[in-house]
Structure 1
Amino acid sequence: MLTSFIIPCFNAQRTLKRAIQSALTDRNNDIEVIVIDDASTNRLHFSTLQANDTRVRIHYQTRNAGPSVCRNIGIEAAKGEWIVILDADDWIAPSRLEKLLTVAEHANLDVIADNQWVVNQHGQKIRKRFENVSRFGVASDDGCIHLGLERILQNPGVGILQPIIRRKALLENGIRYRPEFKYGEDYRFIYDLVRSGAKLGFVDEPLYYAELVEGSLTSKRVPMYSGMIDVLNSIKEDLSREGERNLHQHVDQAIKNCKRTLAYGAVVDPLKRKQYLQAFKAMLEYPQFWTQLPGRLASLIHRR
């Protein structure tokens, strides 16, 4: 059974080889690796990567278009029964594909994902991505937690999952990443899949290693949460059109939580960079920050 890895990348010379090698050393040898270069400024290393293994294919973008466009190109090029999303900064355990696909086939899933180790640039483990998975539900006898639409709406954090998707579920329902969203596009993608009827399962075993890189998209807290609010509002509009107003409460709560985190980050992030004037302006712009201050004061003092 052929499985397709999709790796979008932009100027990822330091980590791309590691990501590709982790895919190639997976216990399932029947794989292809599709790298989509998003108009990197240095492409000299790509020829070596491709020449070392014929299972690696590289698609070159002539202009930078963002990860959503790159992943969609990979989906169109993929030939495997299953599609694995892997970021160029990250890598996977050798047993990941075998373990997750065994569970997925047994539970008749269309999408499966696992917990993650968040690591630093030296590969040292910092923490598990999801410390408390009880909010997702309880694991079934098939070894995974089944996440339906309501659970997805209650837990926007599932957007950070790196899914393995049955290609048939994408093709039959026309599901793709939405390039109009720079942030939160992963969550919208998972939401669209589940909304279309795809069955999603989560395994609480960290077999995916996500590198936390300063300056990466997910390190930019304020624009990330601002973008996530845009995604949630788009979902709310869709639910209204489809007559699903009973689900609005979950989206409204998620938007509220995002606004709180955005306000906190708008003040604290410049404080960390000693940009005190910017932090002061953010305090005035985001009054929600003051309602959080009593509960977060100890943390702020410690970080200063």
Structure 2
Amino acid sequence: MNEPTLSVIMPVYNGERYLQEAIDSVLKQNFTDFELIAIDDGSTDGSNEILKGQSDPRIRVLSNGINKGISFTRNRGLDEAKGEFLAWMDCDDLIAPDRFKKQLAFFKTHPQVGICGTWLTRFDERKSEVSKSPLEHEAIKAMLLFKPAIWNATAMYRLNWIKEANLSFDPRLAVAEDFDFYWEACRKLPVANLPESLYYYRDSDSSIMKRFDGAEERSFSIHKIIYEKSLRELGITPTEDQLRIHRSIGSTYLFQTYRSYKEAFEWLVYLQEKNKIQKIYDSDALSEILGSIFFFLSKKSSQVGLPVFFYYLKELKKFYPADLYQTTKLLIRCLIKYRRF
């Protein structure tokens, strides 16, 4: 039997409610030369029974026996995959029927790219919203200074490139293991994102990030492992306070005071100055990303009111020119002192 072109890896942990939908979404792809490897990570609900009930010969079901965590499961998927390419799929999400076909076509026309992600649509019972990421390698690399820039569930790899680069998921990380993976990957091979949403991420209570809501200290302890790598690369030995400022910029944390808002902006300027010395990031790409991050943190400070808006107008030129739509949006938020992200 010939090896499949594509291996699709689906980690499964207590995903009973939406698991069959996720499996069906993969099986309905208009590209069919794939294997689906579903790895049960010690589920305690009915997930294992659903997996055992699958009859499609392209599905391979594996079990960790006990819960060993997402990094272990992802690394097992990397080891078990037999395809030339590898794609990820979460057990409670959906994908567009042409997702695999479009990403494989991108690889064919971009032979220099080793990892290709896409935009994604977040949805629940009430609404949906497209989350966009930078498209080009240098911008993705710069965004990863602050937060994820490739959504792991959307990613497809040239598998042999990943193995040759000795890339794997850090078992210390209960969350943000993908953030760390792509931080490392950007330093070893070219990456890109398609400017189209081909993945539908379900905002459900079973998602890993939802399980970490309300556990900020634990989440911070994990994220700072990644932040410390980024900052040391820029020649910065960060203090605990600096790491917390950096965390507050990249997270959905709301700024409560004008002072904390200005402090965060000054940290962005400091990073830009350090990059001029260390030359880790392309200067134009970093400037663009810093401009978008400055808008992001200004949005998160809009409850402070008009001082934030005027400060944004005054300082944005340090990164890039103001965008009329964004500026108007921020003005409205600051006028009404909007208190939600």
- TM-score, normalised via structure 1 length: 0.74
Where does 1:37-186 land on structure 2 (aligned, <5 Å)?
Answer: 37-42=40-45, 43-49=48-54, 52-108=55-111, 109-120=113-124, 122=125, 125-130=127-132, 133=133, 136=134, 145-148=135-138, 150-154=141-145, 156-161=147-152, 162-186=154-178
Offset of residue 203 of structure 1: 1.1
Return closer, same or farther for 1:102/1:6 CA change in 2, 3 Å cut-off: same
- CA–CA distance in structure 1, aligned partners of residues 85 and 147 of structure 2: 24
Structure 2 SS opposite 1:6: strand
8 Å contact from structure 1 (residues 38, 62) kept in 2: yes
8 Å contact from structure 1 (residues 115, 205) kept in 2: yes
- CA–CA distance in structure 2, aligned partners of residues 26 and 87 of structure 1: 15
8 Å contact from structure 1 (residues 154, 254) kept in 2: no
Per-residue CA shift, 1:174-218, capped at 9, x if unaligned?
11111111121111111111212x111111100100000136322
- CA–CA distance in structure 1, aligned partners of residues 35 and 127 of structure 2: 28
CA RMSD of aligned residues (A): 3.2
Residue type matched to 1:294 in 2?
V
Offset of residue 228 of structure 1: 2.0
Structure 2 SS opposite 1:183: coil
1:206 and 2:197 matched: yes
- TM-score, normalised via structure 2 length: 0.66
- CA–CA distance in structure 2, aligned partners of residues 36 and 156 of structure 1: 27
- CA–CA distance in structure 1, aligned partners of residues 129 and 177 of structure 2: 24
8 Å contact from structure 2 (residues 14, 206) kept in 1: no
8 Å contact from structure 1 (residues 232, 255) kept in 2: no
1:294 and 2:300 matched: no
8 Å contact from structure 1 (residues 185, 231) kept in 2: no
Structure with greater contact order relative to length (CA < 8 Å, sep ≥ 6): 1
> Structure 1: which 5+ residue stretches go unaligned?
137-144, 268-290
8 Å contact from structure 2 (residues 71, 169) kept in 1: yes
8 Å contact from structure 1 (residues 156, 254) kept in 2: no
Offset of residue 253 of structure 1: 8.7
1:13 to 2, 11, 16: 16
- CA–CA distance in structure 2, aligned partners of residues 266 and 46 of structure 1: 45
1:31 and 2:9 matched: no
- CA–CA distance in structure 1, aligned partners of residues 104 and 242 of structure 2: 33
Residue type matched to 1:116 in 2?
L
- CA–CA distance in structure 1, aligned partners of residues 67 and 255 of structure 2: 27
Return closer, same or farther for 1:228/1:265 CA change in 2, 3 Å cut-off: farther
Residue type matched to 2:155 in 1?
P
* Number of the residue aligned with 2:247: 258
8 Å contact from structure 1 (residues 104, 201) kept in 2: no
* Number of the residue aligned with 2:262: none
- CA–CA distance in structure 2, aligned partners of residues 103 and 233 of structure 1: 34
Return closer, same or farther for 1:258/1:298 CA change in 2, 3 Å cut-off: same
Greater Cα shift, 103-112 or 228-237: 228-237
Structure 2 SS opposite 1:156: coil
Residue type matched to 2:94 in 1?
W
> Structure 2: which 5+ residue stretches go unaligned?
257-300, 306-333
Greater Cα shift, 17-26 or 30-39: 17-26
* Number of the residue aligned with 1:192: 184
